[in-house]
Amino acid sequence: MAMILGGYVGEVMKRNWCGHWKQESKAFPGRRVFTLEFASGGDVWPHLKVGKRLTKGPGDNVWHYFQTLRERYVKPRVVA
């Protein structure tokens, strides 16, 4: 379930924040880990966050995770 829901959350981020999926990460050397990498830099693992939410409860809020990543990786648009 974490892979499915995390994949959905990751796809939303990927499509809106110029990201792409890869199957490796420096944070997990030697392991095959689905990783979302943003053009602005940075790797994230939304399926791991969703897994924590499912097992640990509301304290691992996915919406707050999404908002924090948006602040970190998305450049604000300038409206003229």
pLDDT score at 57: 96
Q: What whole-number distance in Å separates Cα of residue 24 and Cα of residue 19?
A: 15
pLDDT score at 73: 85
15-59 tens-digit pLDDT: 999 999 999 998 999 999 999 999 888 899 999 999 999 999 999
pLDDT score at 75: 75
pTM of the model: 0.83
pLDDT score at 40: 82
pLDDT score at 74: 83
Q: What whole-number distance in Å separates Cα of residue 40 and Cα of residue 17?
A: 9
DSSP state of 80: -
Domain edges within the chain: 2-72
